[in-house]
Amino acid sequence: MLYGIMADIVVLVHLAFVIFAVLGGILIAWRRWIMWLHIPAFLWAFWIELTGGICPLTPLENWFRISAGQGGYQGDFFAAYLLPLLYPAGLTRKIQTLLAFLVIVINVSAYGVIFYRGYRK
């Protein structure tokens, strides 16, 4: 039971990281120091999606699930949890590359707007 709970905690941390990586640029309007946490996060997310890599949290979750007798899954966190919410079909490299660049576009846009407004003041 403990391993199952730990796997669920890893999923929540992973989801929070993904949300922060994609939308965290908005938070720098509130606190500028968040930028120093956010830039490495969104660059990591970009790199993982662009290269088709596996985030270290995915094997950790799988290990907890297997240890709990639940069985792991193939692929990455995005394919296992988020893709079914966004796309009913499977994750392809083309979609994964598009998502990688979407992370960059969203965050560069957020940073641009925030810094432009700060520059104008």
| Percent of the chain predicted with pLDDT > 90 | 15
> What value does the mean pLDDT take over residues 56-77?
80
Q: Is the pLDDT of residue 61 over 80?
A: yes
* pLDDT at residue number 86: 47
Split at pLDDT 50, 70, 90, the class of 88 is very low
| Percent of the chain predicted with pLDDT > 70 | 81
Average pLDDT, the chain: 82
19-30 confidence digits (pLDDT tens): 899 888 888 888
Q: How many CA atoms lie within 13 A of 35 on its CB side?
A: 12
Q: Where are the domains of the chain?
A: 2-120
Q: Is the pLDDT of residue 97 over 90?
A: no
**pTM for the full model?**
0.69
Split at pLDDT 50, 70, 90, the class of 38 is very high
Angle of the 57-67 helix axis to the 2-23 helix axis, nearest 10:
160
Calpha distance 48→28 (Å, rounded): 23
DSSP codes, the chain:
-HHHHHHHHHHHHHHHHHHHHHHGGGGGGT-GGGHHHHHHHHHHHHHHHHHT---THHHHHHHHHHHTTS---SS-HIIIIIHHHH-SS---HHHHHHHHHHHHHHHHHHHHHHHHHHHH-
Split at pLDDT 50, 70, 90, the class of 44 is very high
Q: Is the pLDDT of residue 82 over 60?
A: no
